[in-house]
C-alpha cells in the first residue's frame, strides 16, 4: 500500500501453530500468520516504511538482511521492540535488484526467534531487472524457496536444544517455505528459484536428484554479470542464490541438498557434511509455456570497488565464539570506517568448525581466497560468505550514504547460536 509516495508494509510478530509436517501441529511463530512472513517487495528509489508490531510476550527486533540503509533503521540488537510495542523504520531503497530477507536480531535470542519461524523474503527490483527476459511471474515461474531444518519432539513441538553440537541445532527434517515434502507445480520451460538458507546452523549444497544443469543468475546482493551454468550451489546460513532450472513437459525433479563440502573441519559428520535431503519437488505440467532464453548479460559485473581504492585493511580472526579474541559487547565499537571510504576486510576462520561472515549495510565482493581468485559463484555481490577453516577471505566494501556515530551496524557469524554466544562485532560509519 502506497501512502503519500511511501510504500508501507505491516509486520506483526505473533505466536501460532502450524502443520510443518503433514498431520502434526507444531507451535510456531510468524509474521502476520502462524509461520514465516509475507514476501515484501519494493523498487530501487522507492521510499518504504514498515509498521512492525510485536505481539509476542518477549522483546524482538526485525532486521533487513542485505539492505543498505541507515543504522538506526537496521533492526539489530539496538532496536528492540517491547512486547505489545511497535517500531516504524523508514528508508529509501538505494541498491540494485536482489533477493534479501528479514528476520529478528534480538541480543542473544536470534537463534530461537528465527528457528520458531520468524523470517520472510524482501525482494528488490530495479529498472534493468524489470526489462531483462528472466522468469519473473511471482509464484508462477519465479518462486521463493526458504529452506530451514527442524527437529520435532514426540508431541510435535520444536526441539530447541543443540545437544552439545558446537554448530548449533541441526534438524533432521528440511522444510521449503515451512512445509516438509513440498511440491511446486511448474507450467513454464524455465523456472526461477530464489533460494534462501534460512536455517540456524546447517549449510546446504543444492542441486537436483538427476544432476541436471541449471543456471545461477544471482548471489546475495543481485544479478551476476552473466548466467553461470552449474549443477550445485552451496549456501551457508543467511546466503541466497537465484537459479533458473530448465523443465520438460510431464517430468519431475527433486531439489536436493547434497552432502556439502565444508572445507577442512574437525568432525564433518557432526556438522552435516554427510547429510542429504529432499527439499522441493518440481512437477512439470504436460504442456509448458515457452520461456525466452536467458540473457547473455545480466548486469554490469564490474561495478564494485577495486583493491587500489581501499584506504584501510582490517584483519579479523574467527576463533571459537570470538573475533580477534573478543566477544560481542553492545557497548564497544570494533571498527569505525569513514563515510565514503573503501576498505578491505581480511577474514580467517582459524577454528576447525564451520563459520560464516555477514556484514550489515554493505554488499561486499570477495577479492580473493588465500590469494587466489574466488570461484565464479562468489564473484557477485555478497553480504554473507562461508568461511572454510584456515583460509583467508579478502572482502572489499564501500561505506556509503549513511554516517551515524551513535548507531552501530553488526558483523557476525550467521550460524545463529554462534552469533548469540558472542561471535559478533559492531561498527559505526563516521
Residue with cell 531483462: 132
Residue whose C-alpha is closest to residue 200's, from 147, 277, 143, 128: 147
Closest CA to 222 of 255, 191, 194: 194
Contacts with ligand C2O, 381-410, as mask; x by CB under 6 A: -----------------------------x
From Cu ion, ligand C2O, none, which one binds at residue 105 (CB under 5 to 8 Å depending on kind)? ligand C2O
Binding string, residues 66-105; x marks residues near ligand C2O by CB under 6 A: -------------------------------------x-x
Partner in contact with 358, chosen from Cu ion, ligand C2O, none, beta carbon below 5 to 8 Å by kind: ligand C2O
Per-residue contact flags (x/-) with ligand C2O for residues 312 to 351, judged by CB under 6 A: ----------------------------------------
CB atoms within 10 A of CB 332: 11
Residue 9: CB minimum distance to Cu ion, A: 31
Q: Candidates 198, 238, 374, 422: give the one binding ligand C2O (CB under 6 A).
A: 238
C-alpha cell recorded at residue 310: 581501499
CA 387, CA 354: separation in Å to the nearest integer?
7
C-alpha dihedral (225, 227, 231, 237), degrees to nearest 10:
50
**Among the listed residues 53, 65, 192, 240, the single contact to ligand C2O using CB under 6 A:** 65
Size of the site for ligand C2O (CB under 6 A): 10
According to CB under 6 A, which one of 360, 381, 382, 418 is a site residue for ligand C2O?
Answer: 360
Q: 194 vs 207, which CB is nearer to ligand C2O?
A: 194
- The conformation of residue 23, written as its DSSP 8-state character, comes to T
**3-state class percentages of the chain: helix first, strand second, coil last, to nearest 5:** 5, 45, 45
Contact 184, 146 (CB under 8 A): no
Among ligand C2O, Cu ion, none, residue 63 binds (CB under 5-8 Å by kind): ligand C2O
* Closest distance of CB 226 from ligand C2O, Å: 28
Backbone dihedral angles phi then psi of residue 226, each to the nearest 5 degrees: -150, 160
Q: How far is the CB of 397 from ligand C2O (least distance, A)?
A: 15
Which does residue 351 bind out of ligand C2O, Cu ion, none, counting CB within 5 to 8 angstroms by kind? Answer: none
Q: How far is the CB of 349 from Cu ion (least distance, A)?
A: 8
* Cα angle, residue 202 at apex, residues 144 and 71 outer, rounded to 5°: 65
Nearer to ligand C2O, 68 or 360 (CB): 360
Q: How far is the CB of 387 from Cu ion (least distance, A)?
A: 8
Cβ proximity to Cu ion, 69 vs 413, nearer residue: 413
What are the residues binding Cu ion (CB under 5 A)? Answer: 355, 413, 415, 418
Where do we find the cell 519473473? Answer: 136
Task: Sort 218 into a burial class: Cβ within 10 Å, 0-12 / 13-18 / 19+.
Answer: buried
User: Strands (DSSP E) along 57-213, which ranges?
Assistant: 63-65, 86-87, 90-92, 98-103, 120-125, 142-150, 173-176, 182-188, 190-197, 204-208
C-beta of 180: minimal distance to ligand C2O in Å? 24
Is 376 strand, coil or helix? helix
Q: Do residues 74 and 402 make contact, with C-beta atoms less than 8 angstroms apart?
A: no
Q: Say which DSSP state 370 is in.
A: T
Return the one option of Cu ion, ligand C2O, none that residue 360 interacts with (CB less than 5 to 8 A, by type): ligand C2O
Residue 358 binds to ligand C2O (criterion: CB under 6 A): yes
Is 202 one of the binding residues for ligand C2O (CB under 6 A)?
no
Nearer to ligand C2O, 247 or 397 (CB): 397
Interface residue list for ligand C2O (CB under 6 A): 63, 65, 103, 105, 238, 358, 360, 410, 412, 414
Amino acid at each position: 500500500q502506497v501512502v503519500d509516495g511511501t510504500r508501507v508494509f505491516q509486520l506483526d510478530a505473533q505466536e501460532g501453530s502450524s502443520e510443518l509436517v503433514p498431520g502434526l501441529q507444531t507451535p510456531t511463530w510468524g509474521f502476520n500468520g502462524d509461520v514465516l512472513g509475507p514476501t515484501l517487495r519494493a523498487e530501487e528509489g522507492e521510499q518504504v516504511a514498515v509498521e512492525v508490531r510485536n505481539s509476542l510476550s518477549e522483546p524482538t527486533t526485525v532486521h533487513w538482511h542485505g539492505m543498505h540503509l541507515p543504522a538506526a533503521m537496521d533492526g539489530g540488537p539496538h532496536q528492540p521492540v517491547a512486547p505489545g510495542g511497535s517500531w516504524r523504520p523508514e528508508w529509501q531503497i538505494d541498491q540494485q535488484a536482489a533477493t534479501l530477507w528479514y528476520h529478528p536480531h534480538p541480543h542473544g535470542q536470534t537463534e530461537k526467534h528465527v528457528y520458531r519461524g520468524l523470517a520472510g523474503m524482501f525482494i528488490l527490483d530495479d529498472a534493468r531487472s524489470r526489462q531483462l527476459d528472466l522468469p519473473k511471474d511471482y509464484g508462477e515461474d519465479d518462486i521463493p524457496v526458504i529452506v530451514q531444518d527442524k527437529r520435532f519432539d514426540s508431541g510435535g513441538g520444536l526441539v530447541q536444544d543443540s545437544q552439545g553440537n558446537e554448530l548449533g541445532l541441526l534438524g533432521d527434517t528440511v522444510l521449503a517455505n515451512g512445509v516438509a515434502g513440498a511440491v511446486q507445480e511448474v507450467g513454464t520451460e524455465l523456472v526461477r528459484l530464489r533460494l534462501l538458507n534460512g536455517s540456524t546452523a546447517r549449510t546446504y549444497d543444492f542441486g537436483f536428484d538427476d544432476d541436471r544443469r541449471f543456471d545461477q543468475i544471482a548471489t546475495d546482493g543481485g544479478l551476476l554479470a552473466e548466467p553461470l551454468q552449474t549443477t550445485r550451489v552451496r549456501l551457508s546460513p543467511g546466503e541466497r542464490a537465484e537459479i533458473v532450472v530448465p523443465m520438460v513437459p510431464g517430468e519431475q525433479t527433486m531439489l536436493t541438498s547434497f552432502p556439502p563440502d565444508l572445507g577442512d573441519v574437525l568432525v564433518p559428520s557432526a556438522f552435516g557434511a554427510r547429510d542429504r535431503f529432499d527439499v522441493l519437488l518440481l512437477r512439470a505440467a504436460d504442456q509448458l509455456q515457452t520461456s525466452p532464453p536467458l540473457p547473455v548479460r545480466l548486469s554490469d559485473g564490474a561495478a564494485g570497488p577495486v583493491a587500489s581504492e581501499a584506504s584501510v585493511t582490517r584483519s579479523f580472526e574467527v576463533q571459537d565464539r570470538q573475533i580477534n579474541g573478543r566477544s560481542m559487547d553492545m557497548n564497544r565499537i570494533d571498527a569505525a570506517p569513514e563515510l565514503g571510504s573503501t576498505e578491505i576486510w581480511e577474514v580467517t576462520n582459524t577454528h576447525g568448525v564451520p563459520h560464516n561472515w555477514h556484514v550489515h549495510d554493505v554488499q561486499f565482493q570477495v577479492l580473493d581466497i588465500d590469494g587466489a581468485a574466488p570461484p565464479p559463484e562468489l564473484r557477485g555481490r555478497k553480504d554473507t560468505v562461508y568461511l572454510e577453516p584456515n583460509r583467508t577471505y579478502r572482502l572489499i566494501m564501500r561505506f556509503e550514504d549513511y554516517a551515524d556515530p551513535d548507531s552501530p551496524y553488526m558483523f557476525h557469524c550467521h550460524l545463529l547460536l554462534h552469533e548469540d554466544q558472542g561471535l559478533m562485532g559492531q561498527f559505526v560509519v563516521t
